[in-house]
Structure formats: C-alpha cells, structure tokens
Structure 1
Amino acid sequence: MTQSLESLSRRITSMQGIRSVVHTMKSLSVINSAPYEQAARAIEAYHETVLTGLHALLSQSGPIQTAGIGATARIIVVFGSDHGLCGNYNEALAEHVHTHIAGDAQTDTTVLCIGAQMEGALSDMGVAVHETFLPPASVDGIGRLANLLTQKLDDLRRARRPHDISVTLAYFARSDLGAQAPKVDALLPLDPDLVRDLQSAPWVSRSLPHFSMAPEDLFIWLIRGHLFASLFHAAAEALVTENAARLALMQQAEQSVDDKLDALKSETRALRQNEITTELLDVIIGFEALKKERRPDQDVDR
C-alpha cells in the first residue's frame, strides 16, 4: 500500500521521538552505573576489614562453635529490578532461583525479593515470595536496603529458634570477561573453608590483637558486619548489571530505530522523486499539447 508524503512525514517524526527517548534511557543507564560500581568497590574494602576482625578473633580465641549444622530453614534473598526496559533480566534470574529451590524441595524455603518486577517473575515460576522490598533509588539507598534486610534476617532467625537458618543470595554478577550471569552465593552458615583459613593464617603483625568483649558477642557482631557487607555488595552489583542490561537493550533499540528511520527516509525520497517526475511529465505533456493546438493556426496565416 502506497503511503503519502504526509503519512511518511508523520511516521518519521514519531520514530525520531522514539529515538530521543531511547537515547535518553541509554544515557541514564551509563550515568547510573558509575556510582553503583563505585559503591560495590567501596564495600569490598569494608568487607576486608570485617574479615580481618574475624581473623583476629579466631587467631586468639580458637574455634567458635556455630549453629550452622542442622539448619532446617533456608532463606533466599533475590535481587531484581523494579523497572522494565532491561530485557529478560528478572525472568532469567527467577528461572535460576526456581531451579535452585527445586534441587532441594524438602527444605523449607523463605524467599525475600527486591523489586516488583522480580516478584512477578518469581510468581510466574510458581515461587512464593514472603516479602518484597523496594530497590534503592540512589547509592544512598543501598545502605538502607542492606540494613532492612539484615534486620529482617535477624527477625527470621529469632522466629526459627532453636533451629538455625541458612541464607543464600541470588543476583546477577559480572564476570571477568565483562559478561553477566546469575549467581547464587551461600552466605550463612559461614563457609567452613573460610573459617579454617582465617583461623590457620598467621597474624602478620608483632602486635597481637586484643579485644574486651566476650568472644561470642564479638563473633556475632562481626557476622552482622559480614552479612551487611555481603548484602550491600549484592545490591550494588545487581544495580550495575541491571543498568548494563538496560544499556545493551537500548543500544539494540537505537540501532533498530535508526534502521527504520533510514528506510522511511529512503521511501520518502523515492516518493518525492516520483511525484517530481510525475509533475515534470505533466508539464511536458501539457506543453506538447499546446504546441499541437497552435500549429493549424500558424499554417492558415501562411
């Protein structure tokens, strides 16, 4: 169906508006990623300080018995998105979480979710969400979210007594090659290899660490710091990968819009050229008709 120049002009204007929106979303994705990436790097330094504290405690107090063995309740914290335009980001992670839960169906699982979009994706997979939290709107909100999750996990631990809980984090993380993939990290109980390494590693300083708190109380506070740092890092990493996914999708959309614009402009040029050609032919035909009408009169005068 042949389109008029007016309809093509309207479509080009509409596509240009869409391209402007896509370009804005692309720019926002780039701008938003940088602060979250800096936050992820910053919390790693804090986490190292917490692990150093654990090292100091374990090197001086000896083994500390934890209640990790025999944990009957599993809690999975899933970091997703509250906004769209990021492809299958939430669906891919929800499928990964569903597979992880199905692998141990006998264990009681409580799912804490970050993001309304992720809640919907988990529900579509048949995974019941215990509670949904709002994702951070800025870097300052990451600490707020980590504090809320730490408090929630503490409340769930108290509710499960005398049994202990296991905590797992599920989020998208970046790989060394720059790609991103769903990641499931077991957070609590502590990895026995980590505890063993911290306890066996020699204290490098000649000044031995000293603490006035009871070893059990200090251990609990350090575990809370470890929990906070891990939740903070997972939230920041999830926001970085979400914006990266949105950036990749916007780049594809921008290329698609540019291709469509080129096709519309080419069609417009071809239609305009056809109209010009038609008008020129009409002028030439009219001129030839006038010449034929004037020839008999010229013959009579002669």
Structure 2
Amino acid sequence: MASLEFLQRQIHTAEELKAVVKMMKVLAAVNIHQYERAVTSLSEYTRTIKMGLHVVLKSTHTNGNLPKVDPHSLLTNSIGRCGVLIFGSEQGMCGQFNEQISRYAIAEIEKLQIAAEQLAIFAIGSRLIPHLESEGYQIEQDFAMPSSLSGITSMVQEMLLHIAEWRDRQQITKIILFYNNLHSNTSYEPSQHLLLPLDRAWLQQIENQEWRSRTIPMFTMPSDILISSLLRQYFFISLYRAFGQSLASENASRLVSMQVAEKNIEERLTEFKGEFRQKRQSAITGELLEIIAGFELSQG
C-alpha cells in the first residue's frame, strides 16, 4: 500500500495541476470572447464592402461600360488546380479539434474527385499536419497559426500575397477554406468557404439589392481601381473571419478539455484524500493499540 508520505505528494501534485488547469480554463474563456468579438466586428465592415460593390457594379452596368478589372476574371471556374487551406492549431491540449477539421476536409475533398496532381493542400497550424499525412495527403506548404488576436492581420496579409502568387504561378484557380466555426463557448462545427472563384449569384444579389435612398452615390476614381480594392477587402475579411473563427473554436475545444481534466483531477483528489484519511486513521489506531498493549504488559 502507498505510504502516507507518497499520498501527501500525490495530493500536492494533483492540487497544483488543478490550479494550472483552472488557469487554462480562464485563459481559454477570455480568448474565446476576444476572438468572437473580433469576428462580430467584421459584420459592419462586410456591409460597407457590399454597399461599395453594389454602387460600382450598378454604375458600370448602367453605363454599359464594364471596368478593366472586371470580376469576371475571378468568377470563371476555368480548368486549373484547386488549392485547399485547412485551419488547425499550433498548440495542443485542444481535444479532437484538429482531428475533426481534418476528417471533414478530407471527406469534402474526396467528394470533389480531384486528381492528386490538380490538388494543392496548405495546412495552417503544425498540429494539423500529422492527421493529413496519415491519410496519405501531401502538404504543399504549411503556415504557423497566429497565437494572438494581434497576429491575425499580418498573417492574413501574408496569405493574400501567397494566394496571388498561387494564381499567377501555380495556376490555382479555385481556393477553398476549411475551418471550425464557433457556435458557443463549448461547441463548434467544421465549415467551408469558397474564396475563389467568386460566387456569381452572390455578386448578382449584391447588384440587385435595393438602395436605401433614391440616389445611388457617385464615385470619381476609376471603376477598375475601385472594384479591385473592394474585392481585396472582401478577400481580407473572408480570411480574417476564418482565422478568428478557427482560433475561437480552438479555445472552445481547449475549454471543454480542461473541464474534463478538472473533473478527473477532482475525482483523483477525492480518492487520494480518502485513502490518506483511511491510512492515517489506521496508523493512529495501530499506535493506540501498541500503547494499550504496552500498558497491559507493564501492569501484568
């Protein structure tokens, strides 16, 4: 049986581990809130971009003069390679987070029935790579997942540069984002977003929507420059949302894992403390019996 000293060490270690787990729960909850707030703040930004696209699309079509940088070049689903960006985690202790998004992405990729030479997989987060490679998928390029909210913007800008290069040099005409989408502090589900080519129905819907006032605003800058700038902002928002949702979901998964770990630690602590009390009581009882026996011998 374990000694009293050993049980005391076990209790002390479990209590320290419980404190660490509790702190990680707090940090995960704080991170979820800030990432969720950042994603929510994109709503008004997205609305502004859509209004700008409506103005320029309506004006150019009304005038019968399409801009030089017409979105048609981004609408066509011409023959080319398909680039897949899968968002995972850079850190551990987040449960089945990476496994779930990997399984979902692989299942969706298989539905597309793309030949291996026409498929380019880009992993964001090193913890994701083993799950994809174990299924026989080769990673064309991997990127580090930002560790904080402040790191998302620079990472999105870097990804936009890579996407432009992939389109120009690697003939990647289709780009799909796979990432976990947050639903609550403790739940999320895998989702996907077609970044390229642009959704023709989506642009048509923007162009046909009702304007709130009688007169559509005018613009003085060249329409090709304006629409190009608006679409760049749209791509920025789409990538930023994917990073934000993925990081929020990662922390939600970590929060659940820490809750399970905390429960297990509490159960072990209860066992250790119960065993410690029982053993200490047995030791006290033994000492009393020895005293009584010694006393009886001295009286005999």
Determine if the alignment matches structure 1 residue 233 to structure 2 residue 232: no
Q: 1:192 offset after TM fit, Å?
A: 2.3
* TM-score normalized with structure 1 length: 0.89
Determine if the alignment matches structure 1 residue 53 to structure 2 residue 52: yes
**Where do 5+ consecutive residues of structure 1 fail to align?**
293-302
Determine if the alignment matches structure 1 residue 44 to structure 2 residue 37: no
Q: 1:204 offset after TM fit, Å?
A: 2.2
Q: Please give the alpha-carbon distance, in whole angstroms, between the structure 2 residues aligned to 1:87 and 1:178.
A: 12
1:133: which partner in 2?
143
8 Å Cα contact 2:175-2:197 kept in structure 1: yes
8 Å Cα contact 1:56-1:203 kept in structure 2: no
State which structure, 1 or 2, has the greater radius of gyration over its C-alpha atoms.
1
Q: Please give the alpha-carbon distance, in whole angstroms, between the structure 1 residues aligned to 2:281 and 2:244.
A: 55
AA of the residue aligned to 2:139: V
* TM-score normalized with structure 2 length: 0.90
Q: Please give the alpha-carbon distance, in whole angstroms, between the structure 1 residues aligned to 2:26 and 2:174.
A: 40
Q: What is the correspondence of 1:22-171 to structure 2 with a 5 Å cutoff?
A: 22-62=21-61, 66-67=72-73, 68-106=76-114, 108-160=118-170, 165-171=173-179
Q: Please give the alpha-carbon distance, in whole angstroms, between the structure 1 residues aligned to 2:233 and 2:269.
A: 53
1:41-99 residue CA offsets vs partner (Å, 9 max, x unmatched): 12222122111111112222228561323242211111110000001111111111111
Q: Please give the alpha-carbon distance, in whole angstroms, between the structure 1 residues aligned to 2:290 and 2:193.
A: 76
Q: 1:226 offset after TM fit, Å?
A: 0.7
1:295: which partner in 2?
none
1:282-302 residue CA offsets vs partner (Å, 9 max, x unmatched): 11122222222xxxxxxxxxx
Q: Please give the alpha-carbon distance, in whole angstroms, between the structure 2 residues aligned to 1:211 and 1:141.
A: 34
Q: Please give the alpha-carbon distance, in whole angstroms, between the structure 2 residues aligned to 1:149 and 1:65.
A: 20
Determine if the alignment matches structure 1 residue 190 to structure 2 residue 190: no
Q: CA RMSD in A?
A: 1.9
8 Å Cα contact 1:174-1:181 kept in structure 2: yes
Q: 1:218 offset after TM fit, Å?
A: 2.7
1:14: which partner in 2?
13
Give the match's secondary structure for 2:139: coil
Give the match's secondary structure for 1:276: helix
Give the match's secondary structure for 2:226: helix
Q: Quick check: 149-158 or 178-187, which moved more?
A: 178-187
8 Å Cα contact 1:167-1:189 kept in structure 2: yes
Q: Please give the alpha-carbon distance, in whole angstroms, between the structure 2 residues aligned to 1:254 and 1:149.
A: 38
| Number of positions where the alignment pairs a residue of Structure 1 with one of Structure 2 | 289
AA of the residue aligned to 1:112: F
AA of the residue aligned to 2:14: M
1:299: which partner in 2?
none
Q: 1:177 offset after TM fit, Å?
A: 9.8
**Where do 5+ consecutive residues of structure 2 fail to align?**
none
Q: Percent identity?
A: 30
